[in-house]
A and B are shown apart, each in its own frame.
Chain A
Amino acid sequence: MPLLEIKNLTLDLAFQGATARVVEDVSLQIDSGETVCLVGESGCGKSLTALSIARLVPTPPARYAGGQILVGGQDVLGMSRAELRRLRGRVVSYVFQEPTASLNPVFRVGSQIKESLRLHRPEAATDLEVSRLLKVVGISAPESRMRAYPHELSGGMQQRVMIAMALASQPSLLVADEPTTALDVTVQAQIFDLLRNLKQEFRMSLFLITHNLGVVRDLADRVAVMYAGQIVEHGPADAVLRKPRHPYTKALVNSVPKLGSSEQSLKVIPGQVPRLGAFPQGCRFHPRCGRVRPNCSVETPGLDEAQPNHQVRCPYWIRDAAGFDE
């Protein structure tokens, strides 16, 4: 049984007097010890999908309009408050982009970690364990650092504290939503190095949200690419990056400036990401697609198997790749 199974998740959001479908028919699975990345541009629904795993999306304005989320076989959308409390932290922990938003500025970081321990592992709520956790995330002189207030620490250090807090409960799944976007590359490399080691040490699963395809290449076993609320491609990270099938994934890979490449100009995806509530008919990417066909504005493509374990939401692309070739 997979650790996490999201089946056809659909989420509606009420905004400006209307209802928009922000996440549609998303299915994902994470096995124990596996790292899965979710990529896509701003506003495509990555965070809402990730927050749904522990039912952290506020309802209203959101409404779960369909689908199932199974964690260890248990349906999260049907859980009672007490069950949810047990799930959050103990099974699923989160690390967000902005540590300052999640750390309480008036408490010392040590006592915030201890609070997390008290909640999930009361027997371990000691200074000794706090200092061990700080050491695990690579903070030197933990005995004195645990007495620091968040503002006395750098951004990278605060993010480590957040990770220590998330690890306090010994979760089976760590959900990290753009954990390094606000950090410098050298600090980003430290944090990813840390996550990689922790994963190995504790056989923890990692669900990582990012918009950086280089990060995917570095860390992911599998990757799902989202566009306008839907998964448009999903498969082994290596296969997806090496030979993207969906025109959007392909365009995305081509639009990233690459170190050491000698290309003169970047390949651009024309137009803009569609706005919430104004997703195009048919295939949502069709107005920007370089290989658009008359049908694309009419028929809504399903997410079909292109290769074993590799799905693509574009019928033409699959056929092309299967032999008729580009």
Chain B
Amino acid sequence: MSLLEVCNLKVRFQADRRRLRRSSGCVRAVDDVSFAIEPGETLGLVGESGCGKTSLARAVIRLIEPASGSVWFEGEELTRLDAAALRSRRRKFQMIFQDPYTTLDPLMTAGEAIGEALDVHQLCQGEEDRRRQIEVLLSEVGLDPEHARRYPHEFSGGQRQRIGIARALAVRPKLVVCDEPVSALDVSVQAQIINLLRELQRSLGIAYLFITHDLAVVEHISQRILVMYLGRVMEAGEAKLICRSPKHPYTQALLSAVPVLDPDSKRQRIILPGEPPSPIDPPSGCPFHPRCPLAEARCREQTPALREIGAGHQVACHLVAPPPMG
């Protein structure tokens, strides 16, 4: 059984009033997305700004309500639980954010912030046990037990991200949703945090839904990748496979746009025209067709379905040939 299973999830937002006239009046932030995450696995979620990554993640753990679709966690349908039942399950899935500064209370010490997470789910037996657990958590994320007494502003960005991680780990979750956890950090600090997340996964068996727009990071940390564009999944499959031989023209362009360090790499850069269109007025047919170098007439008319083209490899593109029969 998968740890998490998401089926045909849709998220809609009310568009702002000024734009209502020209459109159906809603933002299709997430459109018909399905995927699964196995225990201890990392699924990378990539795509450009506004493609719906955060909305998808928030809907999965029901921080916002999806418009339709279902989410199953350990075989139980989250999308059907009432508020009280949901609260009791919350311990099993946690979220960490891009900028821990905005999520940490400036008036709470690191120890208090972590202790609060423990208290919410009543995970301590007495004051002594609580202090010990905080110390263990701090050292798990590479901080000093003595740091428990410090306030957020006394930490560097990387250290604050470690506190955010310790807080998420405090409740021993099965799944951690990481929304751009390293995007605001310097490269040297970024490497420290990525390695930390991987070590914790190995020792604690946590699964990650890892959101980023950095393809090199996502290839590095994930077993599988989901590529999104305008709220829809364009390509999904094994991380190495997608990064080495992407099949969807959007994935190809996205990968080719990443500046790579290797002085010997001789890649052909695909420069896409324009920018992603608005999800309020998504294009007809394939959402990528206005920028796609290969678009044909049918791409404007029919929305391609996400089809299996190889083992666990799915692509939503009319032009990608299905696997040979037999």
Interface residues of A (CB under 8 A from B): 41-42, 154-157, 184-190, 192-193, 211-215, 217-218, 238, 241-242, 251-253, 255-263, 265-269, 272-273
Contacts and interface: CB of A to CB of B under 8 A. Distances in A.
B272 A190 contact: yes
Nearest to A189: B257
B217 A257 contact: yes
A154 B187 contact: no
A39 to B, nearest CB: 10
Contacts of B158: 272
Contacts of A265: 195, 198
Contacts of A212: 259
Contact of A260 (B186, B213, B217, B219): B219
Contact of A266 (B220, B253, B255): B220
Interface string B19-61: 0000000000000000000000000000011000000000000
Given A189-B257, A257-B219, A268 B191 contact: yes
Given A214-B259, A258-B216, A260-B244, A186 B188 contact: no
A217 B261 CA distance: 6
Given A257-B220, A259-B260, A268-B191, 15 more contacts: A184-B48, A184-B213, A184-B275, A186-B48, A186-B253, A189-B257, A190-B271, A213-B187, A217-B260, A242-B263, A252-B188, A255-B190, A259-B258, A268-B188, A272-B159
Interface in B195-225: 195, 198, 213-217, 219-220
Interface in B228-268: 240, 243-244, 253-263
B194 A266 contact: yes
B192 interface: yes
B309 interface: no
B262 to A, nearest CB: 7
B194 A218 contact: no
Most A CB contacts (10 A, CB to CB) among B190, B244, B256, B263 go to B263
Contacts of A241: 261, 263
Given A185-B213, A189-B271, A241-B261, A256 B243 contact: no
B188 A269 contact: yes
B272 A186 contact: yes
B295 interface: no
Contacts of B187: 41, 211, 213, 252, 255-256
Contacts of A255: 187-188, 190-191
A186 B263 contact: no
Interface of B: 48-49, 156, 158-159, 186-192, 194-195, 198, 213-217, 219-220, 240, 243-244, 253-263, 269, 271-272, 275-276
A255 B186 CA distance: 10
B192 A273 contact: no
B255 A272 contact: no
A263 to B, nearest CB: 8
B261 A260 contact: no
A190 B272 CA distance: 7
Contacts of A187: 275
B188 A189 contact: no
Contacts of A41: 186-188
A252 B261 CA distance: 11
Contacts of A251: 188
B221 to A, nearest CB: 8
B194 A257 contact: yes
Contact of B260 (A157, A190, A214, A262): A214
B188 A273 contact: yes
Given A42-B186, A190-B271, A190-B272, A185 B258 contact: yes
Nearest to B219: A259
Contacts of A156: 275
A185 B243 contact: no
Most B CB contacts (10 A, CB to CB) among A185, A218, A262, A272 go to A185
Given A190-B272, A193-B271, A259-B216, A267 B191 contact: yes
B228 to A, nearest CB: 13
Nearest to B262: A258
- Closest 6 CB pairs between A and B? A214-B259, A189-B257, A255-B191, A266-B191, A184-B48, A41-B186
B180 to A, nearest CB: 13
B254 A185 contact: yes
Given A265-B198, A268-B192, A268-B195, A185 B261 contact: no
Given A265-B195, A266-B220, A154 B275 contact: yes
Contacts of A186: 48, 253-254, 257, 272, 275
Contacts of B186: 41-42, 211, 273
22 contacts: A41-B187, A42-B186, A184-B48, A184-B276, A186-B253, A186-B272, A187-B275, A215-B259, A252-B187, A252-B188, A253-B261, A256-B187, A256-B261, A257-B220, A259-B260, A260-B243, A260-B244, A263-B220, A266-B194, A267-B191, A268-B195, A273-B186
Nearest to A254: B191
